[in-house]
Amino acid sequence: MLSTPASEASAAILPEVANVQAEKKWYQRSAQEVAMALNSNLKQGLEANEATKRRGEYGPNQLQEPPPRSLIQMIYSQIKEVLVLILIAAAIISAALGEIEDSGVILVIVVLNAALGAFQESRAEQALRALKKLTQPMAKVLRDGRPDQVPAADLVPGDVVLLEAGDYVPADARLIEVASLAADESALTGESVPVEKTAEVLSGQEVTLGDQKNMVFMGTVITAGRGQAIVVDTGMRTQIGRIASMLQQVEQEPTPLQRRLAELGKYLGVIALAVVAVVFIAGLLRGEELLEMFMTSVSLAVAAVPEGLPAVVTIVLALGVQRMSRRQAIIRKLAAVETLGTATTICSDKTGTLTKNEMTVAQIYTSEGVWKVTGVGYAPRGEFIAVVHSGPESKPVTEGSEEAVDQTGEKAAQALDATGIQGSFAPALERMLIGGALASDAWLTQDNHGHYRIVGDPTEGALVVAAAKAGFTREGLNRDYPRVGEVPFDSDRKMMTTFHQVPPDRFGAPVVSFTKGAPDIVLERCQSWYGPDGEVAPLNDADKQKLLEANSKLASQGMRVLALATRSWLQVPEEMSSEAVESDMTFVGLFAMQDPARPEVARAVEVSRQAGIRPVMITGDHQTTAVAIAKEIGIYRPGDQVLTGLDLERASDEELEAAVLKTSVYARVSPHHKLRIVKALRAHQQVVAMTGDGVNDAPALRQADIGVAMGITGTEVAKEASDMVLMDDNFATIVNAIEEGRTIYANIRKTIHYLLSCNIGEIVAIFLAIVIGMGSPLTPIQILWLNLVTDGFPALALGLEGAEKGVMQRPPRGAKEGIFAGGLGIQIGWQGILIGGLSFTAYALAIAGGRSLVEAHTMAFLTMSLSQLFHAFNVRGPMSLVKMGLLSNRYLVGAFGLSAALQLAVILVPPLREIFDTALLTASDWLIVVGLSFMSIVVVEVVKAFTGLRASQTGTSVPLG
C-alpha cells in the first residue's frame, strides 16, 4: 500500500515533476530532460541511499490489494452456515422452554467453533499471502553506476532499469536506448502484435498509449532485443495501476483437490442429514422427547459434516508449500502440489540445472594456439597457460617452455604485451578475450562481503570473467570500444552480434562486429579465419572440418563450446538483420567452458528412478557434451536413444511418439522442440515436469503438467508461465519438491481419514444406541464439544506429518486416482465403526452395571473423545507406531495433550462438570474407559501387522494413509 497519495508523494520529493507532466508528457521529452526532471543520471542511475529515501516517499512499486477480512467477518462467515443457524435457533427455542444453561453452553460452543474455523481460515489466508511474497518479480537496475538485481517492488521514479527479451516491464518508464527492442503490450492495448520501440522523442500533443513507442509500461513483456529505460511512474500511478484501481483483485482459485473436497463435503452433508433424520424418527418412535431428539439430531448433523475440512486442507497445502520454499522450490500454483505426486517424467535443461552453473572458461582455442585458463567461479583471478597444437590435438610446449601468465589487474595487460611465448600468442588471445567480453551483456559485480557474482547469463559471465583475468574490465572495454549496434541473441539461430567503435590503432577498421554462438552455426557463416600465421586466410572445408573436430573433442570432455567470429565495417550497417550482418565473417576461435555437474544431482537422478520417475536431459548444447554429462550423472544409460534438433525437425509426430520413451538425451534443440517433446510424452499418458528459462520456453512450460522455471537465470515470462520456480536452478530441488508434494498429498489423505472416521464413529454410536432403544449415549452439548476438541488441532497436526519412510521408493500415484484410492474408503468405514462401537460399548456397560444416566453419558463421552485422539496416531501411516515412533510427530503429541486436557477439564472441573452434565468416575470406570479407548490403537495395529505380513508374502504394497 502506498504511504502517501501520488500527487503528495511527487510534490514531496520532486516539485518540478508535476510541472513537467503538466507541460509535456514523458514521451514528448528527451531522455536527458526526463532524467533532469527526476533528478537522476542516465549513466549512473540513482544512488542506493537516494533510492531508499524515495521508496519511503513513494511506497512500494506494487499494486494495492484489498485489505484482508477482519476476524469478525470471518466469524460471521462461519456462523451463517445453515446447520449452525439451525443450531442457534434450537438454542433459542431451548432457552424459551426454560433450559437456559444448556442454551447458553450451546451458544458458547457455537462461538468457539466459529472462532476455531476463523482461526483456520486466517492461517490459510496468511499462508497464501506469504506464498505471494515468495514469487515477487525481480528487476535489473543501475544503482551507484553498477548493474544490480533488486525486487521490482523496490523501484522508484528515477531508477534506470535494464531490459532484455523475456523480462516483464517492472514499472512505467521512458526508454533511453534500445537495440531491436519490442514489447507485447496486449495486456494494456489489446494489440496482439509486439510493438517495436524507439528512444527518440515523439512529437505531437497527444499520442495514444499504443503509439507511445518510446515508453514501456508495467506488466507488459519484452519479446525481443535489449534496452535501458528510466522509471517515471510506479505502483498505482502506472497505467496498469490505474486499471487495477477500478477492478477488484481476483481471489485465489481453489485447487482441484479443494474443489473435490468441497463437493465431498456436500455429499457427506446430505448423507449425514439422512442418517440424522433416521435417528430423529427412530428416537421419537422409541418415545424420546421431541426437543431432546431435535437438539441431538441437529448437534449430530453439525458434528458429522466436516465443514472445516477445506480450510484445514488449505492450511496443510499452504504450510507445505512454505516448507518447500525453504528447500528452494517456490510453488506458484497450489494445484501443482497435487500434480507433483503424479509426475512420471522430468525433462530438465542441462546448464545450471544439472550442472553447478559456475560456468568458467577452461580453454581458449585458436589456429595460432591453445591457452588453458585456470581459476574457478567468478573471481577474476587465474592464469593463462600456453600450449601448442596440431589440428584438434593439443599438447603443452615442451622443454620447459610452457609458461603461465598470472593475470590480475593492470599487470595482466602488461604481460600480454610482453615478448617471448606470451607475446607470440598475444594477438589471438587478446582478440578472443576482448571480443568475447564485448559480445556479452553480463556484468561482473562484487558485493559488500567481497564475493563476486554475475548479473546476467552465466555463460556470458564466463567470458567477462575470462577477460577480467587478463585485466580487461567491462567498464574499460565499454569505454574504449563503445557498443553502437547489435543483433540480440535468439534461441533459434543461437547467435548474438554486437558492433563497436574501434580506436584507430586497433583491428584495422573504424567499426568491428563480434559474433558469438554455437560453433557449427557460426562456422557456416564464416568465409575466412585467422590462420596459423595470424593472417586472415580463406576458410576451406578442410579447415572447417578441423575446427569442428576440435569442437567435438572439447565437447566430449563435457565442456560447453562457443565460437567467436568478427567482421570489419566502415560504418554501422543500416540493416540490422541476421542475414545482412552475420555472414561473410572471419572466424577467430573457440571458448571451451567448464560447468561441472552438481555433486548432488547423480543421487537425485537415482532417487527419481527409484520413485518411478524417468529423468530426461534437454539442452541446446552439442550432442557429445550433453551425452558426456548425462552419462556422468546417470541420466544416459546403455541402450538409451539420443535425438538432436535436426532429428526432431525431420521426425513426424508419430515417429517422435514412437521414440520418446526410449530417448534420455535431446541435444542441439530449440525451445519450440520442447513443446513437441511434451506433447509426445503426454500422448503416452506421461505426467511431465518441464524446465525452462527463456521467453520461448513459455509454451512448453504451459503445456507441461508441471512447468518449472529457473529462479536465477529464468526470465519473468518463463516464471509467469510456470507452476514452480527453482530458486537455486537445481535438478535435485525438483526431486525434493516431488518428495514434498507426495508427503503433502499423503498428509491431506491422513487428515481426511481422521476427520471422516471420527465423524462416522459419532453417528454409529448414537444411531446404534437409539435404534436399540437405549437412548442417545451423548448429549447435544457433548456432541458439539467433541467436534470442537477432537476435530481441530489433531487434524492440523496430521497435516504437518513428516515424510514417510520409503515415500520415494513408491511409483507415482495415478493422475486420475481418487482421494479414497488404495483402500482408504474401506479403512475410514471400518475404523469409524470401531470408534463408534467402543463408545457404545462403554455406554452399554455403564447401563448394564446400573450406573446413572449421567455416569453412562460420561463414560461414552470420554471413550469417544479419547479413542478419537488415540486414532489420530493410527492414521499417521501404514507402518506400526512402534517403528514410526510414538513421539516422532511433536505437533500431534502437543495436539493430543491439549485436546485431552480440555476433555478432562469438563469432567474434573466442578463448574464445567455441571455445564456439560458429566460425573466423576470411579477407578474401575476409568479402567474401562481407557482400556476401550486404547483398543482403537490395538485393533488397528493388529490389522496393520496382518496386512503388512500379507503384503510381504504377496509382494504387494501396503495402501498409503
Q: How far is the C-alpha of 720 from the C-alpha of 723, rounded, in Å?
A: 8
**Set of cell numbers at residue 846:** 455403564
- AA letter at 833: I
What is the sign, positive or negative, of the torsion defined by CA atoms of 674, 677, 679, 681?
A: negative
Catalytic residue among 184, 349, 490, 917: 349
Q: How would you class 882 by CB atoms within 10 Å of its CB: exposed for 0-12, middle for 13-18, buried for 19 or more?
A: exposed
How far CA 251 is from CA of 66, 125, 770, in Å, comes to 10, 11, 45
Supply the DSSP symbol for 540: -
| Residue 349 known to be catalytic | yes
Q: How far is the C-alpha of 1 from the C-alpha of 540, rounded, in Å?
A: 65
Phi/psi region, residue 917 (left: phi>0; alpha: psi -120 to 50; beta: rest), is left
- Residue 934 contacts residue 896 (beta carbons within 8 Å): no
DSSP H helical segments within 807-922, as ranges? 824-848, 853-874, 881-884, 890-908, 910-915
**Set of cell numbers at residue 70:** 477482519
Q: How many CB atoms lie within 10 A of CB 586?
A: 17
How far CA 61 is from CA of 8, 171, 332, 362, 721, in Å, comes to 16, 8, 20, 42, 22
3-state secondary structure labels for all residues of 284-337: HHCCCCHHHHHHHHHHHHHHHCCCCHHHHHHHHHHHHHHHHHCCCEEECCCHHH
The beta strand positions in 160-284, using DSSP E, are 160-164, 172-184, 195-196, 215-216, 221-233
What is the sign, positive or negative, of the torsion defined by CA atoms of 304, 310, 316, 317?
A: positive
Direct distance between the N- and C-terminal alpha carbons of the chain, in angstroms, rounded to an integer: 44
- Residue 615 contacts residue 346 (beta carbons within 8 Å): yes
DSSP structure string for 933-945: HHHHHHHHHHHHH
- Residue 567 contacts residue 512 (beta carbons within 8 Å): yes
What is the sign, positive or negative, of the torsion defined by CA atoms of 875, 878, 882, 883?
A: negative
The beta strand positions in 714-851, using DSSP E, are 724-726
- AA letter at 461: G
Q: How far is the C-alpha of 364 from the C-alpha of 362, rounded, in Å?
A: 7
Dmax (CA) of the chain: 114
- Residue 230 contacts residue 38 (beta carbons within 8 Å): yes
Phi/psi region, residue 445 (left: phi>0; alpha: psi -120 to 50; beta: rest), is beta
Q: How many CB atoms lie within 10 A of CB 390?
A: 9
892: CB partners within 8 A, 6+ apart: 794, 797, 798, 800, 801, 872, 873, 876
Beta-strand relationship, 138-143 and 160-164: antiparallel
- Residue 630 contacts residue 636 (beta carbons within 8 Å): yes
Give the closest residue to 513 by CA, choosing from 489, 495, 492, 486: 486
List beta partners, residue 666. 618, 643
- Residue 647 contacts residue 663 (beta carbons within 8 Å): no
Torsion of CA 229, 233, 235, 239, to 10 degrees: -100
Catalytic residues: 349
